[in-house]
Amino acid sequence: MSRAASPFVLDRERVVHCSAFRRLEYKTQVFVNHESDHFRTRLTHTLEVAHLARRLAEALGLDTHLAEVIALAHDLGHPPFGHAGETVLDALMAEHGGFEHNAQAFRVVTELERPFPDFRGLNLSFEVRESLLKHRTVHDHPRPAGLEDGVIARFYAVGPHPPVEAQLVALADRIAYDGHDLEDGLEAGLLNADVLGKAELWRRHAEPIVAAHASVRLPALRRPILDAIQNALLDDAVATTAGVMADAGVSSVDAVRRHDVCLAGFSVGIERSVEQLETVLREAVYGHPRLVRMDTKARGFIERMFEAYRAEPRLLPARYVRRMDGVGRERVICDYLAGMTDRFCQDEYKRLFEPFERV
């Protein structure tokens, strides 16, 4: 079979075959995945984002291959245990360049993955690597000024913003996690009609569906409600982005990069509704004692393991020890911890700190 003309198709092939992509299956999205087979993992989240990014790009006549591969790669740098893992690694690395999962995704595809004998990384196109560095949502805050690597500077020299396809991935990311966190929150029993009724976006789309199925419990109606919300957000994003692009008069990707602001987004009214919904999720789900307890435990795992590896680097696999002279002890330890799945992290913690088993 001949290779497709688009370089982004080859990029996609390399991303889905890399080990970091496979490990997303056992990395937390919001709920640790051993709690239920139905909760999202970082991998299923990624697949949902890729699906939505393709829909947005297709509706706007943009490059669907580029949008898809950016989406598939956008979370490759996430550590175990979701944002709790990122928070503790950033604190531990405060004096060594910090930690930010978008920059880590860039490290994964340019340095840490080495499946080919002729080059380091996955040798992805400039646009994909650039888009990973510049991925920005409510939960993503790229810090280019804090990155000492001179190679990274050239990705910002072309302009502060990524291509429109990458901006659409950021929207798809937000639509995906708001939707599936609602569903997982309902599955976990942390959300109910009273709590969700505080969000106008939920009320607007839920009330007619609930009224039409008065005898059906809310959990059984969640999918049609969430589909209605998702489609409304997609339609608004397409219409708003198309209008902004037309008004901006951009005629090239370089013009998009150098434009004053990002071109993709929601209308003002929908943005306010989405922010209100996210406030409900933050208070009822992310701030629930069940998740706070999980996050606290995860931070303790990672912090104690980091210090153990720093005190005795020979606890690490030999190939990581060999890299320390090049990038420093702390960065190598950070790379190792960030690449772990939740399951491996917990098993490694036991191997490091639990008493010896009796023979």
Question: Residue by residue, what is the 3-state secondary structure of the chain?
Answer: CCCCCCHHHHHHHHHHCCHHHHHHHHCECCCCHHHCCCCCEHHHHHHHHHHHHHHHHHHCCCCHHHHHHHHHHCCCCCCCCHHHHHHHHHHHCCCCCCCCHHHHHHHHHHHHCCCCCCCCCCCCCHHHHHHHHCCCECCECCCHHHCCCHHHHHHHHCCCCCCHHHHHHHHHHHHHHHHHHHHHHHHCCCCCHHHHCCCHHHHHHHHHHHHHCCCCCHHHHHHHHHHHHHHHHHHHHHHHHHHHHHHHCCCCHHHHHHCCCCCCCCCHHHHHHHHHHHHHHHHHHHCCHHHHHHHHHHHHHHHHHHHHHHHCHHHCCHHHHCCHHHHCHHHHHHHHHHCCCHHHHHHHHHHHHCCCCCC
For the chain, what are the domain ranges? 7-359
Question: Where do we find the tokens 């490694």?
Answer: 348
Mean pLDDT of the region 272-290: 95
For the stretch 90-119, pLDDT in tens is 999 999 999 999 999 999 999 999 999 999
For domain 7-359, is the CATH number 1.10.3210.10?
yes
Residue 284 pLDDT more than 60? yes
Contacts of 302 (CB under 8 A, 6+ apart): 79, 80, 81, 85, 88, 89, 92, 337, 345
Name the more confident of 152 and 131. Answer: 131
Distances (CA, A) of 305 to 54, 154, 192, 245, 311: 39, 35, 38, 48, 10
Question: Where do we find the tokens 């699906």?
Answer: 51
Please state, in angstroms and rounded to a whole number, the distance separating the CA atoms of residues 49 and 179.
11
Residue 35 pLDDT more than 60? yes
For the stretch 191-230, pLDDT in tens is 999 999 999 999 999 999 999 999 999 989 999 999 999 9
Distances (CA, A) of 184 to 179, 292, 351: 9, 16, 32
Residue 47 pLDDT more than 90? yes
Q: What is the pTM of this model?
A: 0.93
The confidence score (pLDDT) of residue 39 equals 84
Please state, in angstroms and rounded to a whole number, the distance separating the CA atoms of residues 226 and 26.
25
Residue 4 pLDDT more than 70? no
